């Protein structure tokens, strides 16, 4: 007859409870589910939420490759554009920027040939170069490294990257937005500088 110590019985009960809880928790089945659970890409996920893109990524039949910039990459691109709200809060610009990070079919590293290959992205006529060499532990998209690879998300695949890809077609739009923002700031500066003097003059009897 088998016998167990009290401590062993408690351990078995705890293991059974943990297994039951894990079984009760549904596994992520969509791209949206998985990205929402990756804290390292929470800033890009916030943009997905902000611009109402969630529905597209909640489709369980969606099969794409998503190169998702991590939070450090998002911070660097934000700093580069001076946290410009005319860009960061522009739905059209951000939607196009994110589309450039998506390939229209799911690809793990097992599906990628060694060397450099150009892939069409979800942004029309804007391909991106992917460089892969398993022996050299090299995996880059554009100029940036893939820091987490082959994250399964339903029928899709996520690769986390350490930079924010900028499509060539978006560059004129970004430059124009930055110039307009700087011009607006320059026009506002004299008025802001004069405001205290105007306020003081108004207060005089």
Q: DSSP alpha helices (H): ranges in the chain?
A: 6-24, 31-36, 42-50, 54-57, 71-80, 85-88, 91-99, 171-203
Output phi, psi for 131, to 5 deg.
-115, 125
Q: At what angle do helices 42-50 and 71-80 cross, to 10 degrees?
A: 70
Helix (H) or strand (E) run with residue 168 in it: none
For the segment 142-161, what is each residue's pLDDT rounded down to a tens digit? 999 999 999 999 999 999 99
Domains of the chain from N-terminus onward = 26-175 (2.30.180.10)
pLDDT at 192 over 70: no
Q: Given pLDDT bands bounded at 50, 70 and 90, which one contains residue 39?
A: very high
| pTM reported for the whole predicted model | 0.76
């Amino acid at each position: 007859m088998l016998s167990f110590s009290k401590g062993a019985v408690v351990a078995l009960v705890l293991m059974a409870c943990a297994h039951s809880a894990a079984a009760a928790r549904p596994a992520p089945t969509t791209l949206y589910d998985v990205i929402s659970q990756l804290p390292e890409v929470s800033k890009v996920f916030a943009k997905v939420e902000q611009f109402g893109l969630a529905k597209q990524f909640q489709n369980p039949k969606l099969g794409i490759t998503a190169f998702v910039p991590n939070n450090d990459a998002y911070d660097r691109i934000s700093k580069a554009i001076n946290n410009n709200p005319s860009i960061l809060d522009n739905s059209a610009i951000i939607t196009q920027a994110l589309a450039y990070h998506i390939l229209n079919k799911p690809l793990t590293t097992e599906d990628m040939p060694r060397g450099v290959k150009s892939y069409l992205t979800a942004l029309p006529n804007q391909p991106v170069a992917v460089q892969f060499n398993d022996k050299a532990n090299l995996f880059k998209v554009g100029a940036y490294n893939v820091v987490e690879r082959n994250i399964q998300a339903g029928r899709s695949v996520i690769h986390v990257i350490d930079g924010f890809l900028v499509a060539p077609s978006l560059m004129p739009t970004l430059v124009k937005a930055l110039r307009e923002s700087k011009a607006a700031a320059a026009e506002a500066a004299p008025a802001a500088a004069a405001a205290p003097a105007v306020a003081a003059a108004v207060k005089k009897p």
